[in-house]
A and B are shown apart, each in its own frame.
Chain A
Amino acid sequence: MFVLKSGIPPLDTTLLFVQTLNGVQLGLLLFLVASGLTLVFGILDFVNLAHGSLYMLGAFICASLTFLVGNFLLAVLIALPITGVLGYLIERFVARPLYARDHLDHVLGTFGLILVLDTSVHLIWGPAGIAVPLPAWLEGQVGLFGDVVVPSFRLLIIAAGLAAAAGLFWLVNYTRLGMLIRAGASNRTMVSALGIDIQSLFALVFALGAMLAGLAGMLIAPITEASIGMGNNIIITAFVVIIVGGIGSMKGAFFAALLIGLIDTLGRAFLDDFFKLFMSSDAAENSAPALSAMLIYILMAVVLSVRPQGLFPPKVR
């Protein structure tokens, strides 16, 4: 594609399609992190800043296992229950004593946990981070149609993200556990009054959230490497997702994650070309990255002012 000297550049549909796919991939990863966050925040009323650390732990555990068992996919299968157990332990020993306290204490406690986990990872795996090797068939590209070629691993991320979303949808809407989760999100006191062991339900929800965040970390590690503090980057965006989607809403998290993934990716991809229509090339190249980094926060601000409960708030609280 060549940008014409003057006038509107021809819209490259191939590029647009590839970028949309990239946006969906980012959105699904965000969903995996945000779904656990929204469950924990919505049902347990617990602000877990350290949710991103579970994302990091998932990436590091899976990376080590990949070298140990020699196969990335097998490593993911083994690492998932391990992150679940870690999530359970964090719930038992860090989160549970804090439930009765207010949100500021949650924030302080889990921020401390972030520092502890980041430093633990530094001590165990060193500062280097780990590049994760993929099997050959995932390392290449797939031609979809026409001249659309995408890295095969990114398609796998999309498939895994959709599968996890479908599984969650089924779990939340069609199982007894899901019913309890939804009931817990609506009215916690009533659920425990009906004789449900709310303590174990909470622990289970926390472990489930940990597994989802861990899965996201495992899937991103072959692309960006497992690195210390990687979770702190995504956790802020995940909070934006659950605020835009509506706290406690799975459906909200899904659509908001896709929306934010697309806005972020398409903003990075096309904003500078768009700016070049009415400003100098230099000015466009300098202002576009700044604005594209802000886009999702602008979206959040707009949602908060127009619809503070989020786009898809859970029914009645």
Chain B
Amino acid sequence: MKRIISAALAASFLAAPAFGAEVKIGFVTTLTTGAAIIGKDMQNAVDLAVEHMGGKMGDLDVNVIYGDDGFKPETGKQVTDKLVQQDNVDFVAGFIWSHVLLASRKSALDAGKILISTNAGPSQMAGDLCDKNFFSTSWQNDQTPMAMGEVLNQKGVKSLYVMAPNYAAGKDMVAGLERTFKGTIVGKDLTKWGADAQLDFSAELAKAKASGAEGLFVFYPGAAAGAFTKQYHQAGLKDILPLYSVFTVDGISLPKLQKAGFDGVLGSKITQEWDPSLDNAANKKFVADFKAKYGTYPSFYAAQSYDAMFLIKSAIEAVGGDLTNQDAVRAAIKAANYDSVRGHYTYGNNNFPIQNFYLREVVADADGNWTTRVDSIVMENAQDPYAAECPLK
């Protein structure tokens, strides 16, 4: 009996055609809670990327295994452990949230996996905690608000009230703004964040209004974005306290705001490293096919996730599918030799992109759908401010 089982097992191993000829990518994102809308957008982009590459990276079949972090650092770490130990993936990618990435990084890096953040860019991992196996296809958290700070200086805004969620990225965003903004910050509120985030901002908005600031800077990603934007307009602050935001008005929140008829958001300006209107072949194909398949514009989360898949593909092709030679794989990733939807960029010493940041404006497209288009370049080939603290060279 025992022999028959052993033989059957051996046969089943031999019969598995994909054995050894596939690349496994673990993709961690948020697929439950109110933030699942972001995770879904990323998942859609990854699926589209795999479809665009015909399910192959070089000669290897692509096998993406999704993990749900539940918007919680501890769950993110658990699911990363599972991907690394049980599924034995070759790459770990994804991560919307900085606190989730910070909690999960060790699980992936200690196991010798290559880790690619497709969104979160905590300052720690750009500086002290940088790693030769960690790469980003997004940005370091400080950079987008730094670009917004420059825009505010150009506009001559002298004083600001600041609101952000109280977690790793919220603090980085505020720090980034303070790096470039030359005026004074008259008040600051860090609000509760996570699966039980504070979504009613009545107290903070009343304070902001009473502060006498010339503008309001906020960072409210995901589900909080719609809630914040609505309350800002309901409080009648549009003409008193102009809104300057990062990661708040995006491809995720715009369709909902449009459905609810919230046209106060048209014309608002935001900064970002990517935009659906960027004029390059890869981006045009990505945006057009994404819209055709899913019916909405992709968000920047989607763009960065799509990029990560093609970045991995470029590395696998460069090493001829030999993932055992990790030095070569790393070198190939660092070359960023692929058609990114944001246009060509390079990697700095800390493996964060050196790239352009644009000012985008919310507009209605030819079909009347709300989206954004590029207004101007704010920072050209910008490197994050923590690169010097990273011991890698």
Bound together: yes
B202: Cβ under 8 A from any A Cβ: yes
Interface residues of B in 226-283 (CB under 8 A from A): 226-227, 230-231, 233-236, 255-257, 259-262
In the complex, A220→B40 CA distance in Å? 25
Q: A25-B202, A268-B204, A289-B190 are in contact. Are A122 and B36 (CB under 8 A)?
A: yes
Of the listed stretches A75-83, A90-98, A227-235, chain B binds A227-235
B292: Cβ under 8 A from any A Cβ: no
Q: Which of chain A's residues have a CB closer than 8 A to the CB of B109?
A: none
Are A289 and B37 in touch, CB under 8 angstroms? no
* Interface SS of A by simple majority: helix
In the complex, A285→B196 CA distance in Å? 21
Q: Which of chain B's residues have a CB closer than 8 A to the CB of A222?
A: 230
B206 touches which one: A2, A3, A15, A139 (CB < 8 A)?
A: A15
Binary contact track B299-317/A, C-beta < 8 Å → 1, others 0 = 0000000000000000000
Are A15 and B207 in touch, CB under 8 angstroms? yes
Q: A131-B230, A224-B227, A225-B223 are in contact. Are A289 and B203 (CB under 8 A)?
A: no
Are B32 and A122 in touch, CB under 8 angstroms? yes
A223 touches which one: B197, B206, B230 (CB < 8 A)?
A: B230
Are B36 and A154 in touch, CB under 8 angstroms? no
Q: A127-B37, A225-B230 are in contact. Are A19 and B203 (CB under 8 A)?
A: yes
B202 touches which one: A12, A14, A265 (CB < 8 A)?
A: A265
In the complex, A232→B71 CA distance in Å? 14
B257 touches which one: A18, A131, A153, A293 (CB < 8 A)?
A: A131
A236: Cβ under 8 A from any B Cβ: yes
In the complex, A149→B191 CA distance in Å? 23
Q: Which of chain B's residues have a CB closer than 8 A to the CB of A15?
A: 206-207, 210
What is the CB-to-nearest-CB distance from A162 to chain B, in angstroms, rounded to a whole number?
A: 17
What is the CB-to-nearest-CB distance from B195 to chain A, in angstroms, rounded to a whole number?
A: 6
Are A129 and B37 in touch, CB under 8 angstroms? yes
B344: Cβ under 8 A from any A Cβ: no
Residue ID in chain B nearest A22 by CB atoms: B202
A68: Cβ under 8 A from any B Cβ: no
Interface residues of B in 3-31 (CB under 8 A from A): 31
Are B203 and A140 in touch, CB under 8 angstroms? no
Are B236 and A151 in touch, CB under 8 angstroms? yes
Q: How many residues of B contact A (CB 8 A)?
A: 44
Residue ID in chain A nearest B224 by CB atoms: A224
What is the CB-to-nearest-CB distance from A218 to chain B, in angstroms, rounded to a whole number?
A: 15
B74: Cβ under 8 A from any A Cβ: no
A26: Cβ under 8 A from any B Cβ: yes
B153: Cβ under 8 A from any A Cβ: no
Are B34 and A265 in touch, CB under 8 angstroms? no
Q: How many residues of A contact B (CB 8 A)?
A: 52
Q: Which of chain A's residues have a CB closer than 8 A to the CB of B206?
A: 15, 18-19, 22, 269
Q: Which of chain A's residues have a CB closer than 8 A to the CB of B145?
A: none
Are B227 and A223 in touch, CB under 8 angstroms? yes
Are A140 and B236 in touch, CB under 8 angstroms? yes
B203 touches which one: A22, A67, A127 (CB < 8 A)?
A: A22
B256 touches which one: A14, A130, A223 (CB < 8 A)?
A: A130
In the complex, A67→B166 CA distance in Å? 34
Binary contact track A114-140/B, C-beta < 8 Å → 1, others 0 = 000010001000111111110000011
A1: Cβ under 8 A from any B Cβ: yes
B226 touches which one: A129, A140, A220 (CB < 8 A)?
A: A129
Residue ID in chain A nearest B202 by CB atoms: A22
B221: Cβ under 8 A from any A Cβ: no
Q: Which of chain B's residues have a CB closer than 8 A to the CB of A118?
A: 32
The residues of A with any CB-CB pair to B shorter than 8 Å are: 1-3, 12, 14-15, 18-19, 22-23, 25-26, 67, 118, 122, 126-133, 139-141, 149, 151, 153-154, 220, 222-225, 227-230, 232-233, 236, 265-266, 268-269, 272, 285-286, 289-290, 293
Q: A127-B40, A272-B188 are in contact. List 14 more A-B contacts (CB 8 A).
A: A1-B210, A2-B186, A19-B207, A127-B32, A131-B226, A131-B260, A132-B260, A151-B231, A154-B202, A222-B230, A223-B200, A223-B227, A227-B199, A233-B197
The 6 A-B residue pairs with the shortest CB-CB distance in the complex, in nearest-first order = A127-B36, A227-B34, A224-B199, A22-B202, A131-B260, A233-B196
